[in-house]
């Protein structure tokens, strides 16, 4: 489903499509203030939003998750290049949509990736333990947000989140070919790590230590396959960690890289969403050149 989030559709303005994050719902984007360009912003829910148990990392995976979204985009905008993006898992889906749209003879011209590591080229020994430890971090955060807190979500949403994490971990795509690549790509990173949220949870911190998951940045950690689909978001990022972080190998150019003073989960929420909005404004200006 393609839903108008803000702006007024106009033949003179290229619409921008935001793909739902791991929650499966475009509600993640509802706190974004209007953009100065008045660009029509549409959101696309996950096709597995209401059936998260069917989101299998092998039978469906990121390609299967992206396929109905690509089809919906092509039907909704039957001509012209596309401009798409997503936050977290939605960014990974957006990358795959680029490939599938190209296979249909169309092109994603502009791509916005919001706080998502690049695809991992391999699965490494012990990766399942790392993914489980990463999930425990999210469970710890959700528990601390109980009673309607920021990331207290329904059981179905938790299953969708876990399904998307598993799909991201199992996704090892090739770089986009020349005809599949966006003309321009922008990336927005969260500077703060999620480890700050669970430092008071001795059980989770002990698990991270036992599994060997680093909670402090080290050179190259953003591209290290051992960090999996989740653990890369734990350490605070230093200035050296705010570049393309491997995405340039997949999109075929050096993207514009921006960063905000927030952690991954704060970015789209009241109190910090204005920071993400400001970075998106800058990204949109770059992408539209």
- Locate the domains of the chain by residue range: 2-287
pLDDT of residue 147: 43
Given this model, what pLDDT does residue 125 score?
53
Q: Find the helix or strand (DSSP H, E) in which 85 lies.
A: strand 82-87
Q: What is the pLDDT of residue 230?
A: 86
Whether 12 contacts 288, CB under 8 Å: no
Give the model confidence (pLDDT) of 97-144 as tens digits: 999 999 999 999 999 999 999 998 876 655 788 888 888 887 777 766
pLDDT band at 149; cut points 50, 70, 90: very low
Write down the residue that tokens 């910090």 correspond to.
Answer: 272
CB 186 within 8 A of CB 112: yes
Q: What is the pTM of this model?
A: 0.95
Task: Please spell the DSSP secondary structure of 265-278, one letter per residue.
Answer: TTTTSTTTHHHHHH
Mean pLDDT of 239-254: 95
Split at pLDDT 50, 70, 90, the class of 148 is very low
115 or 253: which leads in pLDDT: 115
Query: What was the pLDDT predicted at 121?
Result: 81
For the purposes of burial, counting CB atoms within 10 Å of the CB of 276, is it exposed (0-12), middle (13-18) or buried (19 or more)?
Answer: buried
Fold for the domain defined by 2-287:
Rossmann fold (3.40.50)
Residue 136 confidence (pLDDT): 81
């Amino acid at each position: 489903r393609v839903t108008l989030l803000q702006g007024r559709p106009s033949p003179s303005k290229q619409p921008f499509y935001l793909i739902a994050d791991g929650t499966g719902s475009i509600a993640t984007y509802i706190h974004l203030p209007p953009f100065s360009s008045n660009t029509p912003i549409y959101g696309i829910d996950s096709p597995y939003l209401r059936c998260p148990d069917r989101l299998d990392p092998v039978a469906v995976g990121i390609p299967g998750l992206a396929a109905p979204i690509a089809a919906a985009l092509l039907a909704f905008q039957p001509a012209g290049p596309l401009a798409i993006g997503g936050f977290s898992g939605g960014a990974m889906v957006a990358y795959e949509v680029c490939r599938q749209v190209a296979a249909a003879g169309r092109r994603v011209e502009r791509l916005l990736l919001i706080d998502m590591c690049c695809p991992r080229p391999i699965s490494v020994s012990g990766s399942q333990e790392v993914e489980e430890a990463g999930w425990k971090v999210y469970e710890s955060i959700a528990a601390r947000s109980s009673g309607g807190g920021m990331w207290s979500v329904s059981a179905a949403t938790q299953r969708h989140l876990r399904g998307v994490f598993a799909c991201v971990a199992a996704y090892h795509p090739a770089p986009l070919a020349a005809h599949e690549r966006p003309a321009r790509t922008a990336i927005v990173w969260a500077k703060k790590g999620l480890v700050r949220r669970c430092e008071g949870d001795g059980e989770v911190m002990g698990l991270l230590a036992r599994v060997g998951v680093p909670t402090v940045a080290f050179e190259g950690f953003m591209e290290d396959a051992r960090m999996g689909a989740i653990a890369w978001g734990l350490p605070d990022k230093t200035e050296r960690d705010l570049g393309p972080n491997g995405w340039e190998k997949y999109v075929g150019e050096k993207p514009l890289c921006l960063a905000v003073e927030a952690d991954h989960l704060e970015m789209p929420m009241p109190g910090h969403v204005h920071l993400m909005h400001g970075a998106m404004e800058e990204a949109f200006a770059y992408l539209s050149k």
